[in-house]
Amino acid sequence: MNGEAVLQVLLIMDIVGMFCLAVFYLARRRMSWHQYLGWGLVAVIFPLLGPFLVIASRPGQWRPKVERLPARRRPSPASR
């Protein structure tokens, strides 16, 4: 593999990684399906700048993590 091919592979890996970062960020926001699709298209259409625009604009509302109640333990058969 020559140097040019290595740089092209690194660029493609960077673009894919940044797109994944933008998608994971959007998944944590509360938005409609159309808004999610629109911001995803921004990240795809502008490969290097799009993910930065998506994260910097902070679309939608932040979806806080839901605290889950601890699971109830079942009594073991030996304790019955």
Backbone angles phi, psi at 14, to 5 degrees: -65, -45
What average pLDDT does range 13-35 have in this prediction?
A: 84
Segment 49-77 mean pLDDT: 71
Reported as a pLDDT band with limits 50, 70 and 90, residue 10 is very high
35: CB partners within 8 A, 6+ apart: 59, 60
Average pLDDT, the chain: 79
Is the pTM above the cut of 0.85?
no
At 7 the three-state DSSP class reads: helix
Distance from CA of residue 74 to its chain's centroid? 36
The domain limits of the chain are 3-62
Which pLDDT score is estimated for 46? Answer: 81
Region 18-42: mean pLDDT is: 83
